[in-house]
Homo-oligomer: A and B are copies of this chain.
Amino acid sequence: MSVGIRHDDLRRRNRAMVISAVRRASQPSRTEIAATTGLSHSTISTISSDLISEGILAEAKSNEPVSMKRGRPQVALTLEPKAASVVAVVLSLNSLSAAVIDYAGNTVVEETTRLVTQHMSAEALIDECVAMIRRLTQSDAASGGAVLRIAMAVQGITDAASRKLLWSPITPHDDIPFADRLEQEFGVPVSVENDCNMIAEALRWRDPVRYRDDFIAILLSHGIGMGLVIKGELFTGTQSSGAEFGHMIHRPDGALCRCGRRGCIEAYAGNYAIWRNARLGDENAEPLADLSDDDIRALADAARDHDGPEREAFRKAGEAIGFGLGSMFALFDPAPLAFVGVGATAFDIMEPHVRSAIAKTAGGLHSKAISFDTEPNEVPLKREGATMRALLTVDQEIFAAGTAPRRAEADVA
């Protein structure tokens, strides 16, 4: 709103446009890009030949064998895999994994380890990340483009600038400056973001038709996380990563939450809450530290099999989620939902209760139109999301600007 547009910004933006069109579409031709961006053919032509000569894009080899059409065949453009690479790191409770991805989005090497995150120092956590990234980037396989960006997806709350892990259930330590430390170590920009936000980012790339401009990803796991895309933008807080759906209040002064407060949605719908309600029947019992996925699946099987405390526990969970969604929908209208994580395998049990709770709220007007989708496996989504985050910033911040000063290149030519 306040800063004017310089003449040279224009070129940068339109380069970004072209790169993003190539990343989004599968091998578009120059003509297609001209159509989707609204820019003229001549502009697309110059920009794309610049990008090709800079080694960012490439013309696809004979891919589609026969076009069956008259006229000069379109030349498909692709991202040049060797243009760069990025590292995606996923840090979760007791687990660290990372991968090197080339510029076209293909995984080059990856690695996963188990750690006991809750009993490690902040330093040790950082060191583990550093060590893993170093192993991966120095491996023979990762000999493509230079690593230009590292993106981490972490459980917990990060700051809005994506520099620090402010708070996380996976460690007792606060304010861990992952970005600063990794940047020091590798000399490459690093971002640290909330894992659910990365899940949302990934969904958008997996199914751009369903998950386009407005949708919600909810992670049903030990806690309840959320990634929210509104009007095409990932919705984050002004100071923190935001969208802590699990800590909206379901019942004032209600069940004891892992965060120490009372009545949070998570205190009814988190894995520990469901287990507690089913097995102890005491919603004020101290939350269990860890719970295996099998425990939850066992509860779900019991709930499906017969009426009893398990079924009741899932009812309460569904109700909490439904009322929470209803309250959210009072603020910004319903959107398609994806339930991700172990909890999603039990979503069939909760769904009727979710829907009936939503129906009691302002969002209820459209409750039948709201569509749910489930995806039990959250780990690949987190990695894909972090990957896309990293690649997009390379696109926008590095390659859109032009790697080398363009004037110098013109002299060479």
Contact = CB atoms under 8 A, between A and B. Distances in A.
A17 B2 CA distance: 7
Interface in A147-177: 160
Interface in A278-337: 319, 323, 326-328, 330-333, 335
A332 B253 contact: no
B13 A253 contact: no
Nearest to A259: B362
A142 to B, nearest CB: 31
A243 B332 contact: yes
B5 A13 contact: yes
Given A244-B362, A247-B330, A333-B237, A252 B38 contact: no
Interface string A244-256: 1111111111000
Given A1-B232, A238-B214, A362-B247, A323 B6 contact: no
B362 A264 contact: yes
Most chain B CB within a 10 A radius of its CB, from A1, A160, A335? A1
A389 interface: no
* Identical chains in the assembly: 2
Interface residues of A, number: 62
A146 interface: no
A262 interface: yes
A7 interface: yes
A261 B360 contact: yes
Contact of A20 (B1, B231, B319): B1
Contact of A361 (B17, B243, B249, B332): B249
A204 to B, nearest CB: 11
Given A239-B333, A327-B249, A262 B362 contact: no
Contacts of A14: 4-5
Contacts of A2: 36-37
Nearest to A242: B332
Contacts of A237: 331-333
Contacts of A361: 247, 249, 261
A243 B327 contact: no
B249 A326 contact: yes
25 contacts: A1-B20, A3-B38, A4-B38, A5-B10, A5-B14, A5-B17, A6-B39, A231-B238, A235-B331, A236-B332, A237-B332, A237-B333, A239-B333, A243-B331, A243-B332, A244-B330, A245-B330, A247-B330, A249-B326, A251-B251, A252-B319, A264-B362, A327-B327, A328-B331, A331-B331
- For the complex of A and B, 9 pairs with smallest distance between CB atoms: A237-B333, A247-B362, A4-B37, A4-B39, A248-B327, A244-B330, A247-B330, A4-B17, A248-B330
